[in-house]
Amino acid sequence: MKSNSLVSIDQCSKEDILRILSNASKFEENPNRNLLEGKVAATLFFEPSTRTRLSFETAVNRLGGRVIGFQDASTTSSTKGETLKDTILMVSNYADLIIMRHHLEGAARYASEITNVPIINAGDGANQHPSQTLLDLYSIQKTQGTLDNLTITMVGDLKYGRTVHSLIVGMSHFNPTFHFVAPDELRMPEEQKTFCDKLGIKYSEHSDFTEEIINQTDILYMTRVQRERFTDLVEYERVKNVYILRNEMLQNSKDNLRVLHPLPRINEIAYDVDDSPKAYYIQQAQNGLYAREAIICELFGIEV
């Protein structure tokens, strides 16, 4: 990769992506390797997380490095008014790698511009979540045997969902066809549709979540309506239950269809889907460990 930071998936070439996925499969075979001995990673989570923080911390631990950081910014000096700039400069004194999640779009890019310590964007507002994209691509490749020529249906909060925004960019190298299923209030933003238009990527938009769409689909990517991004909670209440995937809706779907979700889920996937062989979201989160081991080594230039 050209940069020593990962702030956006668009900085990864097709070759970068395929190399990281190949390395992720090596870590899946053997996750415990002493490649980060003597290195310290800082996880700075200004927003809540379960999977991203814990899988990054597990990745560093399994690679023989050590972890410092916080999961609750209210325990840090940011509550006394310390700026993000000063926080990043301080942590750069202590750590060899900074993994950060922040509510402000562009926060990780800003951090990467003020420090030489590698930055991994673990989610910045509704903008990007590039490590999630790499684990999603790894999950898609594993379950489909290829990344090429797949039909991907994205369902739910396509306006605020940073995972779908990043996944469009990541999949753009592989001739995808997208279905975007969202209520009017949460449609895919113009920026992402313009991106598809410029690259000649096929997509269609729908407000109804029908079996006709599901039955054409290889990857069904469900998303949560993101309560924390709404300024008007009445609007959130109106749309929060708009799409719920139930097992019976998969009965005529393709054999290779897999249901992905970045998680956490609220109620957009009914629990009866969990027993379907097409449910893949728990394994998808497990793949995050291997993908994140590969990402960390990529940024340090460590041969895997």
Which residues bind to ligand CP, rule: CB under 6 A? Answer: 49-52, 123, 132, 262-264
Which CB sits closer to ligand CP, 174 or 281? 281
Q: From CA 190, how far away is CA 187, in angstroms rounded? A: 9
Interatomic CA distance for residues 122 and 99, integer angstroms:
6
What are the angstrom distances between the C-alpha of 147 and each of 32, 196, 201? 27, 17, 14
Active site residue 80: yes
Which is catalytic among the residues 53, 102, 129, 187?
A: 129
Residue whose CB is less far from ligand CP, 69 or 123:
123
Burial class (CB in 10 A: 0-12, 13-18, 19+), 79: exposed
Q: Which is nearer to ligand CP, 52 or 172 (CB)?
A: 52
Nearer to ligand CP, 6 or 263 (CB): 263
Among the listed residues 155, 158, 110, the one whose alpha carbon sits nearest the alpha carbon of residue 245: 155
User: Nearest distance from residue 13's CB to ligand CP, in Å?
Assistant: 24
CA distance 22 to 39: 24
For residue 264, cis peptide bond before it (omega within 30 degrees of 0): yes
Tell me the C-alpha to C-alpha distance, in Å, between residue 95 and each of 44, 45, 65, 99, 130: 11, 15, 11, 10, 21
Q: Are 87 and 76 in contact (CB under 8 A)?
A: yes
Distance CA(23)–CA(74), nearest Å, equals: 36
- Of 49 and 78, which has the nearer Cβ to ligand CP? 49
Q: Spell out the alpha helix ranges (H) of the chain.
A: 14-29, 51-62, 84-92, 107-114, 130-144, 162-171, 190-199, 211-214, 233-239, 281-300
Q: Given 51, 162, 173, 240, which residue is catalytic?
A: 51
Q: State the nearest-atom distance from the C-beta of 285 to ligand CP, in Å.
A: 7
Say which of 2, 79, 80, 231 is annotated catalytic: 80
Residue 58's closest CA among 242, 302, 296? 296
Query: Closest separation between CB of residue 284 and ligand CP, Å?
Result: 9
The helix-helix angle for 130-144 and 51-62 (nearest 10°) equals 80
Nearer to ligand CP, 122 or 201 (CB): 122
> Is 51 one of the annotated active-site residues of the chain?
yes
Residue 101 annotated as catalytic: yes
Residues annotated catalytic, as ranges: 51-52, 80, 101, 129
